[in-house]
Every structure is written in C-alpha cells, then in structure tokens.
Structure 1
Amino acid sequence: MARQTACVAVTLSIAAMLQSCVALSATAEAGGIDYPSAWQCDSPKFNWYCAEPPPEQAKDSQAKAKKPLSKEEEALKRLEQWKRDLEAKRALSILEPTPENVKAYIQEQDRLMQTASVYSDVWRRALWQTPDLNYELKRPVTAAGIEVQKQVRKRAEMNTLQALANEWGLFFFFRSDCPYCHRMSATLKLMSDLYGITVFPVSLDGGTLPEYPNARMDNGLAARLNVTQVPTMVLGNVKDKRMIPIGSGVVAIDDMIQRIYVLTQTKPGELY
C-alpha cells in the first residue's frame, strides 16, 4: 500500500512539472519572458532563468561577427601570422638545432629579406614619381643641392638680420672676470659692425669689457629673464618689448645669425 502511495505521488509530481513546462512555454509565446523555453539554457541557472542577451544585442553581435575584414585588417592579420611563424621557426632552430630546423628558419628569413627588398625598391620608386612625398626637395642630399640650399639659406639669414636691425637689439649679459664673455664680446662686436644690429651689454658684476667700455649695470633684467649663466644673449624688440633668448656660452657668428633667423622667421619643424 505504501509503495502504491509513493508511485502515485511521483506520478503527480511529474504531471505537475509537465504542466509547469507547458505554462512556461505559453507564457514565452505570450511575451511574458524573453526566451522561448526554460530548458533552453546551456548550463544550470538560478531559478531556471537564462542569462541570454537581449535580442537587439544578439543581432548586433552577429552582425559584427559576420562583417568581412577590410584589406588593411586582412593584411595585418597575415603579417602577424607571418611574424609568429618566423619566430616559431627561429625558436625551434635554437632549441632543436637540427639541419632541417635551421634550414627551415634560414629559408623563411630569406623570404622576409626578399620581401623587404621589394618593399624598399617600391618605396623609392614612389618617392621619385611623387614630388609631394620627396623629402629631398626640402633637404637635398646631393653635394650640388646642399650647396644651393646653403646659398639660399645664407641670403635669407642676411636679409633677416638686416631687417631686424631697425627694431631689434641683442642684450649681452656678461661678467668682467669671465674669459668666455671676453671671447663672445669680440664676436658680437664684429657682428654688430658687419650687419648693423645693436648690442646692449649688461654687466652682472659692474665691470666692463674692452669692446664695451660703457656697459650698463644690471638693473634686475637678468633676474626677470632668468639669466643664470654668462655669457648669455637675448634678442629684444625695442617697440613691443618681446624678448627671445638666443643662447649661452661661446657661439660662432654664423651660428648666432642662424639662430636669430630660425627663432624669428620660422615655425617649429619647418626646416626639418
């Protein structure tokens, strides 16, 4: 009798579960849940709830997965695979240096070198045939081109220096006991005589130099310009009071002219 009662109970339980499944399916069809069946999950879920993504998100993921790779993406993928294959052959030839393994790596390395040679050749052909990409038009590499560029640059520097002489002057900070200041003093005096740019000698110790016996004492200008070393040269505009540091130490006259031209007439990167 007890066995019959247990069988009846099991039968009723199974029937109840079947009724629940039918109800869940009906609810899914009616829009009550966002998945078609409680049995659809791939793994057990809490209270039989699936963790499926919303239909829109699933569609977007499928669309992205089916999107074909671009030519650039495909090339990148192939190149990465080639790198991995080459590294794998290299590693194997090192760890297991059999003739076959070393030969396989050498052959792959030769293929890489040949590809690089072809790429280099096509690169130079593209430069020759595309003037906009030819850097030699800006920075010649031949002796004749370099000489012409120097002449053009020299004329531009001279014209700049002569034009600046009307509104700009060169502040020369020095100390009378500084041997480098004595050397720079002669250079600046020559540049002033040749190109007419005015030099304003500023003494930090109250002394003078042979080229500038009437140098002025520093009145705080050195501190405002953060001058901590001598000799230091600063280009100053007498009209709008702009100040442009030129450099410190002993600088050749050609280098001084070049710095003045670059700092006043060009933008960063323009000459490179």
Structure 2
Amino acid sequence: MNKLAHALAIAIAILTPAMAHAQAPEALASTPAEPEVGTDYCERRLGQWFYCEVPVAPKPKPRAKGTAKRDDAPAKHPDLVAAEQFKKDMEEARLIAVWNPSAENIQRYYAYQQMVLEKGGTFADTWRRMVWENPDKDYTLQRPINTAGKAEWLQARNTDRDLFFRAAYDQIGIFYVYRGDCGPCRVASPIVRAFATRYGISVRAISADGGANPHFPDAQIDKGQLKAWGLTSAVTPAYMIFQKPTTTGKDGIKPVSFRVTDGKTITLRPCRNPKGCLTYMGAGVLSVDELADRLFVTLATEPGKDF
C-alpha cells in the first residue's frame, strides 16, 4: 500500500508540468492582449533591456517680423483694383478683336484705347501743373530745354569745363591708341591734336602696330601695355583717361576742388590707386567737343547730375 501511494505521488509529480504546458496556450489565448496605442514604438513593452525616447513634436517656426498672416494682409487700394480690372478687360477686348475682327469687337477695343488716351492726357497735364507750382521739382531749372535757356546753360557749362581743364591739366591726361593702317585713325589724329592744343591736356599717343603718326611724332610703340590695360589693337582709335593718384593725409583722401563761374566749385574725382588710375573713355572718331565732354563728365560730374 505504501508502495502504491509512493508510485502515485511520483506519477503526479511527473504529469503536473506536462499538464501545465498543455494548458499554457489556452491560458494565453484566454488572456486578453494589451492594447497597442497607435504604432508608437515606445508604447510597447520591450523589457528592461530596451529603451527609446518619446519623439518631441517640432515647434512651429516663428513668423518673421514684419510679415502678416494672409488674413491680416492689407486690402488693395480701390484705384489699383480698378486699374488691374481695366487692364484685364482691355486685354480681353484686344484678343477678341484680333481673333474675330468684327466691327462690334473693334469698336469695343477702340473704346478702351480712347479711355487710355484720356487718362494719359490728364496725367500729363496734372504732372506739368504740379511741376509749375513746385519749382524744386522742376528739372528744367537745372538743365533748360527751351532754346534761349539751353543756349545760356551750355555756354555756362562749357566755361566751367574750360576752367576745370585749365586748373586740372597737371592731374589728368589721355592715352590715344591708334594703328598706322587704320583709316579712322588718320581722321581722328588731327582732332586729338587740336583737342590737346585747345585745352592744354597732355595726350600720349601709342601705336598698336608700330606705325608712325605725323601728328604725334613722339608716339610710343605698344610693348604689351595695351594687353595689360585690357585693350585690343583691333579697336582703334581708342582713348583712355590717365589720372594721377590723389594725395592723402592723416584724414585720408584730400579731394581736389577748383573754383569756376558764379562762385561754384568742381571737385576732381579722387584716384585711390597709388600708381594712378586708368579709365576707358571710348573709341572711334570723336570731335573736340565730344572728347572734352567725355573727359569732363567722367572726372568732374556725378551720375545723373549732368544728363
């Protein structure tokens, strides 16, 4: 009896783990699965040897200063809205008239054209009345356009130009580039000589091909300086302005100014290159006045002030 009880105890001990394994799938199946929140990797139970960081949503970029939301955008001026609509309607009328040039379509487009002419005329008339009432906005006071005023202005300007050249003759000069086989150069050479004689401006002639020049017997032969200056011998006659370097002091560049008519002063453009400054002035046959004008405008006027 004791042996039977002992055998049963051993059998129960052996069968108990097997029964537990047999019931494990059913137990697992009966146990409700833990819900997964979305597809976030960090929401899953990965055990103590796994870790991850919860992603941080990117912060919205701050709006630049001075920019407004679309809802805050200022409304267009009503005149601008009307003008844009008129432009659109006129373009449509033009396309229709071109595509189907009936009398009705052409008359419709013609009406738009008439309105444009009326608007333009009103604008021009209002503009000139405004200028008349505001002399500070009248550019013709600086450079007259009528015959009498223009003649007086040109005479005063040419006088100032002559006085400037006489005062600055030792600061500036011209390199005149020519070729012996250049037809235009034979026309330009006596003009350049007359310019030098009239204004007292030093002119140094350079022969691009070694040819002689009766108007400049002391002309130099090109030995590579033209290439260094960025010039080609094919473009002749050509002119370059040479300017001596402007003296400097403790306070920097000292502008050179010359007194001309009516107590005015003209300041020579400063040259900051210690070896002097070269400025291309043009090419082709130029008259004495054209040479003088280009030299004066380049060295003694600001852009927009003498135009």
Q: Distance in 1 between matches of 2:180 and 2:106?
A: 71
**Which of structures 1 and 2 has the bigger CA Rg?**
2
State the match for 2:283 in structure 1. Answer: 248
> Are residues 1:266 and 2:301 paired?
yes
- Residue 189 of structure 1 and its aligned partner are, at CA, apart by 1.6
Question: Matches of 1:85 and 1:129 in 2, distance apart?
Answer: 36
Using the TM superposition, name which of 113-122 and 242-251 deviates more: 113-122
Q: Helix, strand or coil for the counterpart of 1:269?
A: coil
Question: How do 1:1-272 and structure 2 match up within 5 A?
Answer: 64=72, 69=75, 73-86=77-90, 95=100, 97=102, 110-228=114-232, 229-239=235-245, 240=274, 241-272=276-307
Q: CA deviation at 1:166?
A: 0.9
> In the alignment, residue 153 of structure 2 is paired with which amino acid?
Q
Q: Give the total of aligned pairs.
A: 210
- Please state how far the C-alpha of 1:187 moved relative to its aligned partner: 1.4
Q: Could you tell me the TM-score, scaled by structure 2's length?
A: 0.58
State the alpha-carbon separation in 2 of the partners of residues 252 and 142 from structure 1.
25
CA distance in 2, matches of 1:127, 1:193: 44
Partners of 2:90 and 2:120 lie apart in 1 by 14
Question: In 1, distance between residues paired with 2:278 and 2:158?
Answer: 24
1:126, CA displacement in angstroms?
Answer: 0.9
CA shift for structure 1 position 86? 4.6
Q: Where does structure 1 differ by over 3 angstroms across 4 or more consecutive aligned residues?
A: 60-63, 67-70, 82-99, 101-117
In structure 2, C-alpha distance between the alignment counterparts of 1:171 and 1:61, rounded to whole Å:
61
TM-score scaled by length of structure 1: 0.65
**Equivalent residue, structure 1, for 2:54:** none
Deviation of residue 248 (structure 1)? 1.5
Secondary structure at the residue paired with 1:180? helix
Secondary structure of the 2:211 match is coil
Q: Within 1, Cα distance between the matches of 2:95 and 2:117? A: 18
Contact 1:161 1:260 in 2 (8 A): no
Instruction: Indicate how the Cα distance of structure 1 residues 76 and 231 shifts in structure 2: closer, same or farther if over 3 A, else same.
Output: same
Q: Which runs of 5+ in 1 are unaligned?
A: 1-59
Read off the aligned partner of 1:256 and give its amino acid letter: L
What residue identity is the alignment partner of 1:230? T
Change (3 A) 1:109 1:231: closer
Identity of aligned residues (%): 28
Q: Find the residue that maps to 1:170 and give its secondary structure.
A: strand
CA apart distance, 1:113: 4.1
1:219 positional shift: 2.7
Offset of residue 161 of structure 1: 1.9
Taking the aligned partners of 2:190 and 2:70, their CA distance within structure 1 comes to 78
Shift of 1:133: 2.4
Root-mean-square deviation (CA, aligned residues, Å) is: 3.1
Q: 1:75 to 1:235 in 2, by over 3 A?
A: same
Deviation at 1:157, TM superposition (A): 1.8
1:199 and 1:227 map into 2 onto residues whose CA distance is 17
Distance in 1 between residues matched to 2:181 and 2:95, nearest whole Å: 65
Distance change (3 Å), C-alpha of 1:85 and 1:233? closer
Per-residue CA distance 1:12-58 (angstroms, 9 max, x = gap): xxxxxxxxxxxxxxxxxxxxxxxxxxxxxxxxxxxxxxxxxxxxxxx
